[in-house]
């Protein structure tokens, strides 16, 4: 029984909150297994990142998650753990908007005071710094990289108020990253991230935390028409379609954050700065032509020397009342700069918005919330808040209401 449980058992300290609500279904001889998850409903016009309507009209989204979390004692000082979570997601009213996917799948070994080693599919530990500001319910922080990817090997340590870790990224096709725009992906050859931080004892109304992280990703060499990052359809007719993308050679990002207080308990304030840069050596143009005899595709590659730089700053403040009500606001400023070094061209623009939120924990397992995003003077032609930086200038304010039950 112990071996079969260990094969599916999955848990980690990062998922302590989820495990706290989960139902423990097995506990014997140093091995535990818990089942948890959540059911969530949202309505609003928060854009392509959350709904299937293109961010123009109000619609709904519902999703459910189920996870298995477990742990087994291997020796007196070493425990094995793992975590697996699936999500069923439905956006809008179309059947095509439905999806079921595996969000997390990882295993690890916990060496107690000597740290833990973890492998599999999860959020890169680089997210450690920006987690301090990513405390609102849905449309959250720009900095960090909260996408889940496979191929991680990480070492993490905590003690005496300090946290530190290092992670290696193995080769991964269609690696997802929101550092340079939502839903962007490219083929990664290798990479790594490091992080460190410290949390003090309580000072007046709460502890003070300071965190920093660094991420570097190396793109795969050219193959099959390139590394399809920033894929965008530029022209389409009844017979032809043209699309463009770039080959990303490398991407790096630096993240730093500072916070004071405990989120949800009294006053909490945090700020985060993120710097990200990607370099591209080739641009590609695909032309697909459809005729009576069939469909053909041609690819044209052009040498280039492009740089895309994003600098983002966010500050958030919340206040949590004893009755479970929490009020919060945040300000986001994102500066995007594109440089064509071959042709000596440069353009840049700013995205600015304010986020307001009110939520209520009716019980420890059931929450309702309302959230609004207000454009605060973004430059024309640059991503607006409702599309969450996915390159589509929807140019309108957004709202969202939702309810979530965690089990």
pLDDT digits (tens, 9 = 90+) for 113-155: 999 999 999 988 888 898 899 887 665 545 555 678 889 999 9
- Confidence label for 314 from pLDDT (cuts 50, 70 and 90): very high
% of residues, the chain, pLDDT over 70: 69
- Among 66-75, 90-99, 272-281, the range scoring the smallest mean pLDDT is 90-99
- CA 63, CA 46: separation in Å to the nearest integer? 16
Domain count, the chain: 1
Give pLDDT, residue 347: 81
Give the SS3 label for residue 144. coil
From residue 350, alpha-carbon distances to 46, 336, 386 in Å are 20, 6, 15
Q: Tell whether the model's pLDDT for residue 270 goes beyond 80.
A: yes
Name the residue with higher pLDDT: 328 or 179. 328
Give pLDDT, residue 185: 67
Is residue 117 in some structural domain?
yes
Give pLDDT, residue 72: 96
Name the residue with higher pLDDT: 279 or 72. 72
pTM across the whole model: 0.81
- Among 104-118, 128-142, 164-178, 375-389, the range scoring the smallest mean pLDDT is 375-389
- Confidence label for 48 from pLDDT (cuts 50, 70 and 90): very low
Give pLDDT, residue 186: 73
- Confidence label for 195 from pLDDT (cuts 50, 70 and 90): very high
Is residue 33 in some structural domain?
no
Tokens of 208: 């003070």
Is residue 256 in some structural domain?
yes
C-alpha of 30 from chain center: 34
- Confidence label for 4 from pLDDT (cuts 50, 70 and 90): very low
Query: What pLDDT digit, counting tens, does each position of 92-108 carry?
Result: 554 545 667 889 999 99
Q: Tell whether the model's pLDDT for residue 183 goes beyond 80.
A: no
330-346: average pLDDT: 80
Average pLDDT value over all residues in the chain: 78
Give pLDDT, residue 399: 82
- CA 191, CA 189: separation in Å to the nearest integer? 7
Which residues, including other chains, have CB under 8 Å from residue 160's CB and lie 6 or more apart? none
Give pLDDT, residue 299: 61
- Confidence label for 50 from pLDDT (cuts 50, 70 and 90): very low
Beta bridge partners of 307: 279, 339
| Residue 74, CB-side half-sphere exposure with 13 Å CA sphere | 12
Give pLDDT, residue 349: 84
Is residue 200 in some structural domain?
yes
- CA 11, CA 14: separation in Å to the nearest integer? 8
- Among 22-26, 125-129, 235-239, 359-363, the range scoring the smallest mean pLDDT is 235-239
- Among 114-123, 215-224, 268-277, 364-373, the range scoring the smallest mean pLDDT is 215-224
Give pLDDT, residue 120: 95
- CA 328, CA 355: separation in Å to the nearest integer? 8
- Report the CATH number at residue 157: 2.40.160.10
Give pLDDT, residue 205: 92
* Of residues 146, 143, 107, the one with CA closest to residue 12: 107
Is residue 243 in some structural domain?
no
Is residue 268 in some structural domain?
yes
Q: Are the CB atoms for 308 and 180 separated by under 8 Å? A: yes
Is residue 17 in some structural domain?
no
Q: Which helix (H) or strand (E) holds 17?
A: helix 16-21
Name the residue with higher pLDDT: 45 or 40. 40
Tokens of 160: 């005496």
Expressed as residue numbers, the domain containing 108 is 49-66+84-220+251-281+308-406
- Among 93-97, 154-158, 340-344, 368-372, the range scoring the smallest mean pLDDT is 93-97
* Of residues 133, 128, 108, the one with CA closest to residue 195: 128
Which letter does DSSP use for residue 77 in this model? S
Q: Tell whether the model's pLDDT for residue 293 goes beyond 50.
A: yes
Give pLDDT, residue 49: 47
Give pLDDT, residue 351: 84
Is residue 94 in some structural domain?
yes
Residue listed under structure tokens 């890169």 = 124
Name the residue with higher pLDDT: 290 or 9. 290
Name the residue with higher pLDDT: 145 or 73. 73
């Amino acid at each position: 029984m112990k071996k079969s449980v260990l094969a599916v058992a999955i848990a980690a300290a990062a998922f302590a909150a989820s495990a706290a609500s989960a139902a423990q279904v097995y506990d014997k001889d140093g091995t535990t297994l818990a089942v948890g998850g959540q059911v969530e409903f949202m309505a609003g016009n928060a854009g392509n990142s959350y709904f299937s309507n293109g961010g123009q009209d109000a619609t709904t989204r519902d999703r459910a998650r189920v996870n298995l979390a477990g742990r087994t004692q291997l020796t007196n000082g070493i425990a094995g753990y793992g975590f697996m979570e699936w999500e069923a997601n439905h956006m809008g009213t179309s059947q095509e908007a439905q999806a079921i996917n595996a969000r997390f799948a990882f295993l690890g070994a916990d060496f107690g005071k000597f740290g833990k080693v973890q492998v599999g599919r999860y959020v890169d530990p680089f997210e450690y710094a920006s987690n301090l500001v990513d405390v609102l319910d849905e449309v959250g922080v720009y900095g960090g990289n909260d996408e889940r990817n496979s191929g991680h090997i990480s070492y993490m340590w905590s003690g005496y108020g300090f946290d530190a870790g290092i992670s290696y990224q193995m080769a991964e096709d269609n690696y997802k990253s929101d550092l340079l725009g939502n839903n962007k992906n490219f083929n990664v050859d290798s990479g790594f991230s490091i992080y460190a931080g410290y949390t003090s004892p309580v000072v007046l109304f709460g502890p003070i935390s300071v965190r920093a992280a660094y991420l570097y990703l190396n793109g795969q060499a050219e193959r099959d028409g390139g590394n399809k990052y920033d894929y965008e359809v530029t022209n389409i007719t009844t017979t032809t379609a043209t699309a463009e993308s770039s080959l990303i050679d490398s991407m790096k990002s630096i993240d730093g954050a500072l916070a004071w207080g405990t989120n949800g308990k009294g006053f909490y304030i945090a700020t985060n700065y993120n710097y990200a840069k990607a370099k591209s050596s080739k641009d590609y143009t695909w032309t697909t032509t459809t005729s009576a005899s069939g469909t053909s595709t041609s690819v044209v590659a052009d040498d280039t020397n492009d740089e895309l730089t994003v600098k983002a700053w966010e500050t958030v403040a919340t206040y949590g009342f004893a009755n479970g009500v929490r009020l919060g606001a945040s300000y986001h400023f994102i500066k995007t700069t594109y440089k064509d070094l071959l042709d000596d061209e440069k353009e840049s623009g700013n995205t600015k918005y304010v986020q307001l939120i009110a939520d209520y924990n009716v019980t420890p397992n059931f929450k309702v919330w309302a959230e609004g995003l207000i454009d605060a003077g973004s430059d024309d032609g640059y991503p607006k808040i409702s599309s969450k930086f996915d390159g589509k200038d929807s140019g309108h304010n957004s709202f969202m209401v939702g309810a979530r039950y965690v089990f």
